[in-house]
Structure 1
Amino acid sequence: MGICDGRVVIVTGAGRGLGRAHALAFAAEGAKVVVNDLGVGLDGRPGADSPAAQVVEEIRAAGGEAVAHGGDVATADGAASLVATAVDAYGRLDALVNNAGFLRDRMLVNLDEDDWDAVMRVHVKGHFLPLKHAAAYWRAASKAGREVTARVVNTTSGAGLLGSVGQGNYAAAKAGIVGLTLVASAELARYGVQVNAIAPAARTRMTEEVFGDLDAAPEDVSPLVVWLGSAASAGVTGRVFEAEGGRITVMEGWHAGPTVRREGRWSPAESGEATLKLLADARTPGAVYGAG
């Protein structure tokens, strides 16, 4: 008996890297998996035939159940068909893992608008649309009186939590995914849906050029993703986790730090003096990746 026996799980961007590892790990724990992959290059442009079918064959060869989906999840039609594929094939949907993404790295002064828009589209919109259509399915199920034990695992990044030099578009997109995760966890709780995010670190084709010394494997991240996608994670929602190798870290986001208050309005000079005193008592932020 696996931790996800009988559950139906969607994994986007599951043809390679982290997504592939997640899909295989879910299947190994008894889940029926919808393997989504558009089959594009690192920059998001069309490449060879989608590898989704290959992952499906791997799962079936190991005795599991899976179907492929090759639609673009950053479009309304693609996201809707993704959810429909799960329901048509297996009669239900229990978990969504938003993983699809790519890079177009440039320093800010060299970053084209098209590269900004493309990264925002696949990461932020590619999370929002599958989440929207899955949430609509779960809301309808809940209102129909069916028990819903649904899970969403979004994929952020250390770049989105701390920043990363040369990745302004990617860092902004991944920070946006954290905000989306927090809102979704609050809005969807009433329907039996839990929403969390992971910030994975693993050696994949996306990271090997940026972090060439990173040795952790994608398969090291997947156990946490599978647990978050299972019913066993009951009560865990609105959280962000870092996962790398054998390390799991609960990330603690913005909290109110040192504060000062006065009656009346500050002058600019007074506000600056007060702020400097506050900063002397505040925690030092984590270093931006690639700075210094």
Structure 2
Amino acid sequence: QSDTQVFHFQDNYESGLKFLCKQIIQLIPKIYDTQRVIKIQAEDGTDLEIEIDPGARLAYLQEIGHRQEVVRRIFNPALGRYDIAADVGPAYTSKRQETLDALTLILTQAPGLVGVIGDLLFKNMEFEDAIEAAQRLRRMVPPEALGIGPSPREQALQQQVAGLGAQLTKQMEIAGKDKIKLIGKDQMRDIDVYKAETDRMKALADMLPMDQSGIEQLVQQLVDQSLKTSLEPILKENLGTGGDGAEAALSQQPAGAGEPPMPGARRAPDGNWYLADPTRTGKYLRIGPLAQSRATPLREQ
């Protein structure tokens, strides 16, 4: 009730203040009628220099330097229309002080917001290292609060993409291991075939007959059986892909090479006779002179 009784005092004060400010606005072009440079205070409390130029073509003009900084401000008070806005509340010397009081009150009631808007509080303070403190605290502000980081939906999508990538990598590793296993099985199968033939030949070698006719028959039998078994496609494939040049060398037999001392023997350019080694891919066994001399009479008989 006491407020309503004296309300007309406050209302008249506000009306008089508005009328006074309007008169000041009308007097400014008449007082500042010559070109000059003055210092003013902005709403945030910072001091600025502005050039008053009644002959300027625009009401307000800024000149930007090569460092993207404002180097000149020109103001013509004779151009434009201006008004005032009165606000009831505590009297502040600047907007900076008003902002400082508001932020102090907010952070006092909600301390958890210090990591979000604490840099604004230091920015509006006037001690020596206030700007440095504000910059350091701003580096700790979460990117989401500054609007430069991914949104929660984008973060969820990134996690989903990362999970799919991990699953794809795992499946590729499993597929690679399975492929290696299959290749290993095929190679082991070839090795088993070679090993079986080698073991059989070694076992038969221990029971070789002493006469030359028996040796010739046994060698011929081993060669024929090796070519008729599953070893034949493996030998053909390996001989076809061999890179040592042995097959090409043996194929170039000199003219008048004569009858081979053993079935399947081939003469090389060096004049020696060779037999294919069934236990080694692309390798040949040289037939010694003694074996040739023993095998030749048997063939003539």
For the aligned pair, the TM-score class normalised by the smaller chain equals: under 0.3
Higher relative contact order (CA 8 A, sep 6+): 1
- Larger helix percent: 2
Larger Rg: 2
